[in-house]
Amino acid sequence: MDFVDLRSDTVTKPTPAMREAMAEAEVGDDVYGDDPTVLRLETLAARMLGKEASVFVPSGTMGNLIALLVHCQRGDEAIVGSKSHIYLNEAGGMSALGGIQPNPVPNQEDGTLALNDIRAAIRMEDVHHPITRLICLENTQNICGGVPLTVEYTRQVAELARENGLLLHIDGARIFNAAAAQNVDVRKLVAPADSVMFCLSKGLSSPIGSMLVGTKKFIARARHLRKMLGGGMRQVGVIAAAGLISLETMTRRIGEDHRRAKMLADGLSGVAGIVLDKNTPQTNMIYFNLADHVAFDQNVVIEKMSKFGVLIDWADKRRFRLVTHYWIDDAAVEKTIRAFEKVLG
C-alpha cells in the first residue's frame, strides 16, 4: 500500500533531483573546511538570511543547543516559550549539557510571548539570581498551531532585548514557512536576531541537516562547539548537495503545502467527530480534537487510519496534528478526507 504520511514534515524523502545531486556531489573534508559543496551551502544560507556566516549541523536540536552554548555561560538563564521546542522537545540539553537555566514564559494563542511577560522574566542584578542572557523565539510556533510570528513582533522583542543587554535567538526550524505564509522576505523576519537555526530536513525535503547562521565571530565559536558535540562531519557534501536544492528550489514551493493544508482542513471541517482548532491552518499544520461523542481514543484512530493507508500521529490525548509537505499532493488530501469519513463519520 502507498501510504499518505501526515505524521510530520520530517518524514520527507529526498526528491529525485536531490538524489541525483547527492550522487554527483563534489566532496572534501568539512572539518578541514575544504568540502566545496558544504561551503556553497553555508554561503547561500547566510546570504538568504542576511547574516555574515553559517555552519551546517546534523540536526535542528544540535543547532539550537550550539546557539545557547555560544550565547550563555553555565549558570546563566535563557527566556523561552513554555510551549517551545527548545524547552519541551530537546531532551533538556540546555541544562544537562550547558548548565543553562530555562525561564519559561507562557506562549500566547498566536505563538508569541507577551512583551510584558518577557520584561517581567528578566532578572534584576542580585547575587541570588541567575543572569539573564538570552531570549529565544520559535517561528513558526509548532505547538500553537504552526503559527508564524511577524516582522513587527520580532523587531519589538529584539528592541526589548537590546534595552536590557540581552541577545535574541530564533529557532526557525520552519522559518521559510513563516515567510511564505506572510509573503515576506525571510531576511526581514530574522533581521533583528543575533542567531537563527533553520531546518533543511522538514518542509525543505532534505534527508538530513540544519543551518545555524549569525555573525562570523558567532559561527567561529559554533564550529568549535559543533566538534565538541560530535557534529564534525567529513565528506558531508553528499548531504549538503540536497540542502542546496532545498534552498534554491524547495523554498519557492512551500506555499503549495499551505494550500493543501487549507484544502485538507476544509474537507475535515465536514467530518463528524472532528473539532478543528480555530484559525487552523496558518501554515502547513492542522490541529484538531476528537469530539466528545467519539467513543475511541487517539490510538484507535491512528490504527484505523493506517488500515486505510493514512499515517497520522497524536499531539495529545484525543488531539492530533497533521502536517502537509512536498510528498502530499491533491490526491493524498482527498484520500485522507475519505479515510477520516470512514473512521469517524
Please report, for the domain that includes residue 163, its CATH number.
3.40.640.10
Which of 193, 206, 270, 278 has its CA nearest to residue 241?
Answer: 206
**Is 198 inside any structural domain?**
yes
Give the pLDDT confidence score for residue 126 in this predicted structure: 87
pLDDT confidence band for 226 (50 / 70 / 90): very high
Residues 58 and 151 in one domain: yes
Examine the fold and report which residue of 190, 220, 251 is the final residue of a domain before the chain moves on.
Answer: 251
**pLDDT for 1 beyond 80:** no
Residues 96 and 234 in one domain: yes
Give the span between the Cα atoms of 257 and 249, in whole angstroms: 14
pLDDT in tens, 283-311: 999 999 999 999 999 999 999 999 999 99
Give the pLDDT confidence score for residue 111 in this predicted structure: 97
Q: Is 152 left (phi over 0), alpha (psi -120 to 50) or beta?
A: alpha
**pLDDT for 281 beyond 90:** yes
User: Do 286 and 280 contact (CB within 8 A), yes or no?
Assistant: yes
Examine the fold and report which residue of 251, 269, 297 is the final residue of a domain before the chain moves on.
Answer: 251
Average pLDDT of the residues in 246-250: 97
**Is 121 inside any structural domain?**
yes
Radius of gyration of the chain (CA): 20
Residues 274 and 223 in one domain: no
Residues 81 and 223 in one domain: yes
Average pLDDT of the residues in 265-291: 96
Look up the domain containing 114 and give its range. 14-251
Average pLDDT of the residues in 16-41: 96
Residues 206 and 286 in one domain: no
User: How many domains are contained in the chain?
Assistant: 2
196 bridge partner residues: 170, 213
Give the pLDDT confidence score for residue 152 in this predicted structure: 98
Reading the block at residue 162, the C-alpha cell is 537590546
**Is 302 inside any structural domain?**
yes
Residues 302 and 190 in one domain: no
Which of 283, 284, 209, 196 has its CA nearest to residue 246?
Answer: 209
Residues 6+ positions from 5 with CB-CB distance below 8 Å: 11, 311, 327
**Is 7 inside any structural domain?**
no
Residues 184 and 274 in one domain: no
**How many other CB atoms are there within 10 angstroms of residue 270's CB atom?**
11
Residues 240 and 94 in one domain: yes
**Is 6 inside any structural domain?**
no
Q: Three-state SS across the chain?
A: CCCEECCCHHHCCCCHHHHHHHHHCCCCCCCCCCCHHHHHHHHHHHHHHCCCEEEEECCHHHHHHHHHHHHCCCCCEEEEECCCHHHHCCCCHHHHCCCCEEEEECECCCCCECHHHHHHHCCCCCCCCCCEEEEEEECCECCCCCECCCHHHHHHHHHHHHHCCCEEEEECCCHHHHHHHHCCCHHHHHCCCCEEEEECCCCCCCCCCEEEEECHHHHHHHHHHHHHCCCCCCCCHHHHHHHHHHHHCHHHCHHHHHHHHHHHHHHHCCCCCEEECCCCCCCCEEEEEECCCCCCCHHHHHHHHHHCCEECEEEECCEEEEECCCCCCHHHHHHHHHHHHHHHC
Reading the block at residue 147, the C-alpha cell is 503559527
Mean pLDDT, rounded, of the chain: 97
Quick one: CA torsion of 26, 31, 34, 40, rounded to 10 degrees?
70
Give the span between the Cα atoms of 40 and 30, in whole angstroms: 12
Domain CATH for 329: 3.90.1150.10
Residues 231 and 169 in one domain: yes
**Is 5 inside any structural domain?**
no
Give the pLDDT confidence score for residue 251 in this predicted structure: 97
pLDDT confidence band for 219 (50 / 70 / 90): very high
User: Do 37 and 254 contact (CB within 8 A), yes or no?
Assistant: no
**How many other CB atoms are there within 10 angstroms of residue 195's CB atom?**
29
pLDDT confidence band for 228 (50 / 70 / 90): very high
Residues 271 and 246 in one domain: no
Examine the fold and report which residue of 222, 251, 280 is the final residue of a domain before the chain moves on.
Answer: 251
**Is 2 inside any structural domain?**
no
pLDDT confidence band for 25 (50 / 70 / 90): very high
Residues 57 and 155 in one domain: yes
**pLDDT for 345 beyond 80:** no
**Is 8 inside any structural domain?**
no
Give the pLDDT confidence score for residue 177 in this predicted structure: 98
* Share above pLDDT 90 across residues of the chain, in percent, rounded to a whole number: 97
Residues 236 and 328 in one domain: no
Average pLDDT of the residues in 196-212: 97
**pLDDT for 242 beyond 90:** yes
Give the pLDDT confidence score for residue 102 in this predicted structure: 98
Least confident of 31-35, 79-83, 248-252: 31-35
pLDDT in tens, 135-171: 999 999 999 999 999 999 999 999 999 999 999 999 9
Where does residue 57 rank: exposed (0-12), middle (13-18), buried (19+ CB within 10 A)?
buried
